[in-house]
Structure 1
Amino acid sequence: MTGPGRDAPPDVTGSWVHAFEEDTPAGAVYRPADRPFPPARRPRRRIEFRPDGTYTERRPARDDRLNEVRGRWEAQGTDQIAVTFPDGGGSPFDLTVLSRTEDRLVLAR
């Protein structure tokens, strides 16, 4: 991540849980993992961006348990994040950060 300033990417570090009931057509909404969530029939996707560049994703599997995948993340400009899986745990992808506040992260769909 780059230093402070207008061109610095938003700080996405932390553990986030998909608050799918808050999604919009433009973006998927994530809230901090330590926030209480209402009960849901489907498991909630969880993502974590660690300061050391480690990326962890826990996504629902076919049996509704959360399947964990680990990779690496790196900021690419002011609103892009590149996620890679050096150990072959998945296909690389990019995320676009639409907004970030203390209690809300919105990623483009």
Structure 2
Amino acid sequence: MTGPGRPPDVTGAWVHAFEEDSPEGAVYRRADPDHPFPPARRPRRRFEFRPDGTYTERRPARDDRLNEVRGRWEAQGTDRVAVTFPDGDGSPFTLTVLSQTPDRLVIAR
């Protein structure tokens, strides 16, 4: 869990658990083969924050297959993560971390 004055430790691979979403936030679970995600008709967005600052995202494309994009990430303050795409593969964005446990990450919508 994030602590006072500490940036969020989002390193690792995460999978969107959209069944758990709330109006305030989107819920992501660790990409753990032991976590039982229910079957879904739509593909689940996945992203990975590597310790070296590399960001990889697999998001649903128009044909519902997952399209992979790569970028860079950096913690900014106690609750934000900035993602950029130096090669022009996407638009930069910032995630606001609402809460985090070792196996659950909630980001603002």
Provide TM-score, normalisation by structure 1: 0.94
1:55-66 to structure 2, matched below 5 A, reads 55-66=55-66
Aligned mates of 2:41, 2:81 — CA distance in 1: 30
Aligned mates of 2:96, 2:3 — CA distance in 1: 19
**Partner residue in 2 for 1:9:** 7
Q: Which amino acid aligns with 2:14?
A: W
Equivalent of residue 30 in structure 2, options 6, 29, 32: 32
Aligned mates of 2:41, 2:71 — CA distance in 1: 28
**Partner residue in 1 for 2:84:** 84
Q: Tell whether the 8 Å contact from 2:8 to 2:80 is kept in structure 1 after alignment.
A: no
Aligned mates of 1:56, 1:13 — CA distance in 2: 11
Provide TM-score, normalisation by structure 2: 0.94
Cα offsets for 1:32-83 (capped at 9, x unmatched): 1112311001000001000000001100001110000000000010001110
Shift of 1:5: 6.1
Number of matched pairs:
106
Q: Is 1:99 matched up with 2:107? A: no
Cα offsets for 1:9-38 (capped at 9, x unmatched): 121000000000000000000001112311
Unaligned runs of 5+ in 1: none
Q: Secondary structure in 2 aligned to 1:38?
A: coil
Unaligned runs of 5+ in 2: none
